[in-house]
Each structure stands twice: as C-alpha cells, then as structure tokens.
Amino acid sequence: MSVPRLVATWRFGLGACDAAWSLLEQGDGPGAVVAACDHAERDPTVDSVGYGGIPDGSGRVTLDASYMESPRVAAGVCVVGRHLAVAQIARLAAERTRQVLIAGPGADEFAQQAGVESAALLSPTAAMAPQGAGAHDTIGVLGVDAAGRLFGACSTSGLGRKRPGRVGDSPIIGHGLYVDPEVGAVTATGTGELIMRVCGSFLAVELMRRGASTLDALQEVLQRIDRTLDVSPSDQVAFLALRSDGECAGAALINGFEFAMRDSAGARLCGPGVTIHHRPANQS
C-alpha cells in the first residue's frame, strides 16, 4: 500500500490538485491527473495552458499534451487547434489507439471522433498579450494511488508567440513526461528545446532506475542541460519526480519554480529541493 499523493508544477497546480484529489482518493488515478490538467486548461488566468494560452506568432493558439501510466499506455497530442481538453484527448489516444503522437488536424479529428467537445481557444486577454510575452508555465501532474500505481499528464500551449508548428517537450513521451511503473514518474516544464535535447524526463527516470533518489536524478539532468547546452540567462527548466512509495522532489535551473503537493494532509506549495543557478527568473 502507498500513500496517495498528487504533485503538479507551479503555483496554479494547487487549485488543480485540489480539484482532482477526490478522484485519486476514489482510486481513479487516470481521472485525477487529467482532471488536474483540465482545471488549468479552463483557467483563463493561466497564460501558458489551455484557454488562457498565449497564441503563436501567427495569432493562433495551439495546444500540446501527453498522458502516461506505463510504456504500454502512453500518448501525446500536439498542435491541437479546436479542442481544449487536450490532456483528456492524450489519455484517450493512449487508451484507445496504438499511436504515440497525433499532430495537428489529425489530433482534432481524433478528438471529434472520440466525442470530445470542440472549443474556441483564444481568450480575449491572451489575444491582447504583448508581442514580447513569452510565458512558459506548463502544467505537469504526477499521481500515485493507494495501490502504488503511478500516473502522469502534462498540458501546455507551448512557448508564447512560438513559431507556428513549433512543438516542445510536453506532448512527447520521454521529454515532457515519462512514467515507468517499476521506477517512477517525471514531468518537465520550461524551455522545451533544452529538455528535448537530453530526453529530460526519460533520462531522470533512468537515473532513478540505477538507484538515484528523485532529487539527485533531477539535479543530474539539470546539470547535464546546464553543462552541455546553450542556456540563456532567462531560460528556465524544472522537473518534478514521484515514486510509487510517495517520495517526490522538484528541481529547477533558476529561481522562481514552485510546485503543489496534495495528499491526505492537505494541499501545500513547495519550493524546489535544488536550484542550479540562483538568478531571478523572468517569469514564474
């Protein structure tokens, strides 16, 4: 038996975890991690997920998401333009198809066929966001249920004002999210171009497989990024990790990262266990 627990990236993860907690308590782990993403997707004040998402360079909002519970049950959708519930769509793709990634109009078509409601994605506030806006605060959610089963979901509108067609780490299994039932779960937020160059979430899980603690694994991945890639002072990358025994950790490249934790003791906001560079983030 394990202690049920949900963790989610950023401050807005608090409300998301709270909204999803009863599902986890009832034993619905898949429903819980998707419901947490859904909460952020519907929140117009979250400017890098779902309805509040800042549009791409052409003025269009497109969404990316992934869902994973094991290498067998894992999928992502990207460049979704007509549906809001992208974490749910990723879950449906993982459960009902053999595809691991469905992109663009094909993803919208799959969602429509699966009976997911279509939606307008551009909020009035996001449409007015200044050209320079470059928010990146993806929601990544990891959960463990009382039986020790792990679940993960991740949802984003990607980098604000991104190049149309640009896809980051979040919808791609192994980059923005990886869950191995025997080892643990990891999700990522921040500059996807850095996370993807080291297969960040997969790498962290593999380090845990070889015996690293959750925190040591995340720190090693961040150090790899910092040492081997072109990291600009404003780049943020942060990871969350959760094991089936409930051990969890967060770590970040620069200041400003927080994550939410929800268990039977309630919801609380946590700082990262490790920050590689203590310089201010340009956003949080």
Interacting residues with ligand SD4 (CB under 6 A): 48, 136-138, 156, 158-159, 168-170, 189-192
CB of 150 to ligand SD4, least distance (A): 21
Q: 203, 183, 174: which is closest to 66 by C-alpha? A: 174
Question: Cβ of residue 95: shortest distance to ligand SD4, in angstroms?
Answer: 24
Place of tokens 């990207």: 78
Minimum distance of ligand SD4 from residue 169's CB (angstroms): 5
Nearer to ligand SD4, 29 or 190 (CB): 190
Residue 26 CB, nearest approach to ligand SD4 (Å):
29
Q: Are 214 and 243 in contact (CB under 8 A)?
A: yes
Q: Which CB sits closer to ligand SD4, 137 or 263?
A: 137
Please tell me the distance from the alpha carbon of residue 78 to that of residue 108, in angstroms, as a whole number.
9
Catalytic site includes residue 138:
yes
Which of the residues 138, 156, 191, 214 is marked catalytic?
138
**In the complex with ligand SD4, which residue's Cβ is closer, 151 or 259?**
259
Closest by Cα among 27, 24, 9, 63 to 171 = 63
11 or 112: CB nearest ligand SD4: 11
Nearest 5°: CA angle at 19, between 80 and 52? 35
Nearer to ligand SD4, 183 or 281 (CB): 281
Residue identified by tokens 């117009």 is 44
Query: Crossing angle of helices 86-96/29-42, nearest 10°?
Result: 150
Measure the CA–CA gap between 202 and 81, rounded to whole angstroms. Answer: 27
φ, ψ of residue 235 to 5 degrees: the values are -65, 130
For the sheet with 101-103, list strands across it. 101-103, 74-80, 63-68, 150-156, 139-144, 5-9, 259-263, 266-270
Given the structure tokens 């939410």, which residue do they identify? 260
Task: Provide the Cα torsion 59, 233, 204, 98; round to 10°.
Answer: 10
**Minimal distance, residue 136 CB to ligand SD4, in Å:** 3
Q: Which is nearer to ligand SD4, 4 or 160 (CB)?
A: 160
Contacts of 15 (CB under 8 A, 6+ apart): 39, 43
List active site positions: 138
